Amino acid sequence: MNAIAVLGNGRVGGNLATALTRAGHQVTAADRAPGAAAADAARTADVVINATPGAGSLERLTALREELRGKILVDVSNATLDAPDGLPADLLYPGSSLAEQLQEALPETHVVKTLNTMLFPVMTAPATLTQPPTAYLSGDDPQAKQTVHQLLVDLGWHKEWITDLGGIRTARATEAAILFVPHVIRSSGFTPFAISIAR
């Protein structure tokens, strides 16, 4: 069992908090606003999940530098500039990624990127898709990635559905995949899907 803080209580954060609690973890949820609640949640956790909107995540989490020292930070957000319809139109950090920016700003925190290549219902119910989805892991610390790997298993991800891409720099590839999403949604609606590797 891990003590987990979920920062962000929207659809993504709420869904993850509920599923991780159901899996037996001790979960504290805090809304996206910076302040005492987020700091307290991060301070008492082993693992912190960033489920805040990606465009403001770097500023929010940098403010928690001391609370995040030595912790695993699981980043599931995508930092994008939105189109008029509210769907992602471009990357906020072209040539980089939110995860890389977080790791650079928080060098004593172990950042792991995952679960950012799918619609949010798939994060906690991957087996509901008609074909096996893929969850990707990016991060520089092998032990942190192993911890996150186990959390994915707890969320219903089969081990063979989880692909370790390597260091945190590989997160720029999965974050760029968000650019598929608005086109898929416009053509097919908000039916759950994941961007996966077929072998």
pTM of the prediction?
0.95
- Average the pLDDT over 114-129 and give the result: 96
- CA-wise closest residue to 47 among 3, 102, 112, 104: 3
Assigned domain for 195 exists:
no
Assigned domain for 146 exists:
yes
- Residues 140-180 have pLDDT tens digits of 999 999 999 999 999 999 999 999 999 999 999 999 999 99
Which of the four pLDDT bands, split at 50, 70 and 90, describes residue 37? confident
Residue 12 structural domain: 3-188
Assigned domain for 134 exists:
yes
CATH number of the domain within which 155 lies: 3.40.50.720
Burial of residue 59 (number of CB atoms within 10 Å: 0-12, 13-18, 19+)? exposed
Assigned domain for 30 exists:
yes
Assigned domain for 196 exists:
no
Q: How many domains does the chain have?
A: 1
- Check residues 195 and 199 and name the one with the higher pLDDT: 195
